[in-house]
């Protein structure tokens, strides 16, 4: 016994409960299908010094070229102390993962971790699970984001209670083969793709149409993405890239 008192129900109430139990559950709404203009945003938090990360890294590499997916590889810093300093890691990327952990996602700070549209996470080591997560997520469904040379334009649309964050992400789409000399992956050469090299908050978005100036990337090979995201590590509302 759990200490709760269960009062007897009348016949009508019992019949209503029975009918409700027999009724089929309402199907959840189907996600809006992602496309090149409204991609699913997949962020992988990983480290070259983490022995569990190569499978997740390979799965991100496999979807990095899809037009309906914006796949981003964030190298974090907290594995560096184990003998190998990640060649792409930045504190800003570690801070982003910590923001997710402290926000609505409520995830743990661990690698590997894939975050999909800022709404849910998975380890990312299982290819079938990654594919299922893309189907489950669909497009972010928020404002259209158009990235042009020197400017990003965000359409008007419903906004969260507080101004959303507008993030500039610069990433390298080229495959980078990194030989690991020390640490848990010593002796391995790990291929990386869509490596995030710069993360900058451009400003806020309150639901009105807005635009921001973009400076050229430091490396002309880098690609530019812009994310509109609910504050405090909330869901991604819109995304665009060039």
Angle between the 53-63 and 127-137 helix axes, to the nearest 10 degrees?
50
DSSP 50-89: -TTHHHHHHHHHHHTT-TTEEEEEEEPSTTGGGS---TT-
- Span 1-42, pLDDT tens digits: 333 223 233 333 333 433 344 444 443 445 788 888 899 999
Predicted model pTM = 0.86
- Span 107-160, pLDDT tens digits: 889 999 999 999 999 999 999 999 999 999 988 989 999 999 999 999 999 877
Please compute, for residue 187, the number of CA atoms within 13 A of its CA located in the half-sphere on the CB side.
Answer: 1
Reference 115, options 53, 172, 72; nearest CA is: 72
CA distances (Å), origin 10, targets 7, 13, 15, 21, 22: 10, 5, 9, 17, 19
DSSP reduced 3-state for 236: strand
């Amino acid at each position: 016994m759990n200490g709760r008192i269960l009062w007897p129900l009348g016949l009508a109430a019992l019949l209503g409960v029975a009918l409700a139990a027999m009724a089929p559950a309402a199907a959840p709404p189907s996600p809006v299908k992602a496309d090149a203009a409204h991609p699913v945003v997949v962020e992988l938090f990983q480290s070259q010094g983490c022995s569990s990360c190569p499978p997740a890294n390979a799965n991100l590499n496999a979807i990095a070229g899809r037009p309906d997916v914006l796949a981003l590889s964030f190298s974090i810093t907290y594995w560096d102390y184990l003998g190998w300093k990640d060649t792409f890691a930045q504190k800003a990327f570690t801070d982003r993962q910590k923001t997710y952990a402290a926000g609505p996602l409520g995830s743990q700070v661990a690698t590997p971790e894939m975050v999909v549209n800022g709404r849910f996470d998975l380890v990312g080591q299982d290819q079938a699970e990654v594919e299922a997560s893309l189907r489950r997520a669909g497009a972010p469904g928020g404002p259209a984001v158009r990235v042009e040379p020197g400017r990003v334009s965000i359409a008007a649309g419903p906004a969260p209670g507080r101004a959303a964050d507008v993030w500039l992400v610069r990433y390298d789409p080229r495959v980078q083969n990194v030989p690991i000399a020390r640490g848990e992956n010593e002796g391995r050469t790990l291929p990386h793709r869509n490596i995030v090299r710069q993360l900058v908050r451009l400003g806020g978005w309150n639901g009105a149409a807005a635009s921001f100036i973009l400076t050229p990337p430091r490396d002309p090979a880098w690609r530019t993405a812009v994310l509109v995201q609910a504050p405090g590590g909330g869901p991604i509302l819109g995304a665009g890239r060039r």
